[in-house]
Chain A
Amino acid sequence: MSGLDWLIPVVLTVITASTPLLLAATGELVTERAGVLNLGVEGMMLVGAIAAFAVASATGSGLLGILAALLAGAAMALVFAVLTISMMANQVASGLALTIFGVGLSALVGASFVGIALDPLPQLSIPGLSAIPVLGPILFGQDLLVYLSFAILAAVAWFLARTRPGLVLKAVGESHDSAHALGYRVIAIRYGATLFGGAMAGLGGAYLSLSYTPMWAENMTAGRGWIALALVVFATWRPGRLLLGAYMFGAITILQLHAQGAGVEIPSQFMSMLPYLATILVLVLISRDSTKIRLNAPACLGKVFRPAR
């Protein structure tokens, strides 16, 4: 098996690069399925990242840090929900405001945390299993958030496809007027979906500041929130394809690092462009088929709901 040894670090780093995308995109997928387009993912991730880092470095507990990120992300989403769902503000503009606000807030809170190092989240190695060559460290040697990202995605897929509340949530996203007429509480459901999206974005941020690079830097998400938004389109709002998309992007991110390590003679800036260019390419490929987008996108995505009397 020693011939595959080089593969282990590659796969391990792909997992670390994919996890924050998967977490944030899973949350946004649920939000969008309920008909709410929250463009503030980048801002919510940043606030989640600094909340997790601040609490973890103050208390020494990664778990409390994760909890703080969940709450911080949800709190950010609450501001968005009040604006767009209760006050019926434009969702695109409100999402942009949320990102601008999140960038500023996280930089302000984070100013005193720059340059502090943190012990990364511990790996939850399962004795015995993680000693299996190749597969062991990959499958059984990850930290809590990696396992969580898979568990939550599976739970979301099951929730949307197999449960009654999941069907109701999708109905709200497809036709809020019909759902309202049937007696479903459109506003409450949208609040719930938006808060879930915020909490998940916070979790994605927490992974960045607690595990990926256990430190805080201004704007450390570097566009991952926006890539997560693109991933939801790429997945045509289906959880299964989200997994594929997130890991494809993780692989592209890591490809540039390993190419540089292998001595490929391309300036680093061009390699760093790859994830962004890939996002554009993927968006183009998937959006080209406009019927496909129309059929899969929640019909009420981004539309204001005014309860009819």
Chain B
Amino acid sequence: MTGGGRVLDGALVRAGGLVKRFGDFEAVRGIDVDVRRGEAFGFLGPNGAGKSSTMRMIACVSPRSGGELSVLGMDPDRDGPRIRARLGVVPQQDNLDVELTVRQNLHVYGRYFGLSRARVRAKADELMVFAQLSDRAGDEVEPLSGGMKRRLTIARSLVNDPELLLLDEPTTGLDPQARHLLWDKLFRLKQQGVTLIVTTHYMDEAEQLCDRLVVMDDGRIAAEGSPTELIKRYSTREVLELRFSPGEQEDAQQRGIAELADRVEVLPDRLLLYTDDGEVALEAVHGRGVRPASSLVRRSTLEDVFLRLTGRTLVD
């Protein structure tokens, strides 16, 4: 690393023993993270795991309470504005200026990055095409749908051609169609070489977007790897989900079906049997005279990884 904020070793973000405290409460309890140029990196964890606090420290709007942090090869405590000039930030809650038009939001924001009027105008046109908002360019933001506002927030974060894009819960609160549209946009950005850091409590989002992720729980990192690595390491290939009529789940547990799988998770509404072959396990379950109300064989997901690591589900 050199004084010019140039990153030679490819790590755009490097955190060591990073801590964030709010009074007596420790939100982030000493995490180590390396984010490499060009990758999509995820923080997966439930609400309150410390993901957003970590993101705000990386975004240079929240001073760290302890540990080391470098972003784009610079120290956020010393070079906040210089780092922020090269970041794109998509906050958890949209904070657009809702009384301005779509185009004005992009113009005004771009100017904060020291861009010329001509550059901002051209950039806004490009970004409105990207966000599929060109036909709403002159409309105020207030009446736009949630998905449109989210797309505009993402477009706005790209106005300075950021080297690193920080997305805090990018699709929370959106309907499935809007989520898929956004994922598509983010995937394209990644293909263009933008480094992404995403926080999410949706395992499907993490699987869709992230090359590599850390599972966070209670301010700490519980595991790290690619989605497939994590699933391989902490779960089986398949999962057999069994649902029962009220009262019958305990009965089934007593018939020893735990022996039929590598591991069984007991949830209030269903049993999860972890096994490499779900169909075989289901036959064996039937063989023991257990008749579930419904059954489902599926592949393991990050949700299963999280359950294994913490004993809890991601979304309560």
A, B assembled together: no
- Please list the residues of chain B having a beta carbon within 8 angstroms of any beta carbon in chain A: none
- Please list the residues of chain A having a beta carbon within 8 angstroms of any beta carbon in chain B: none
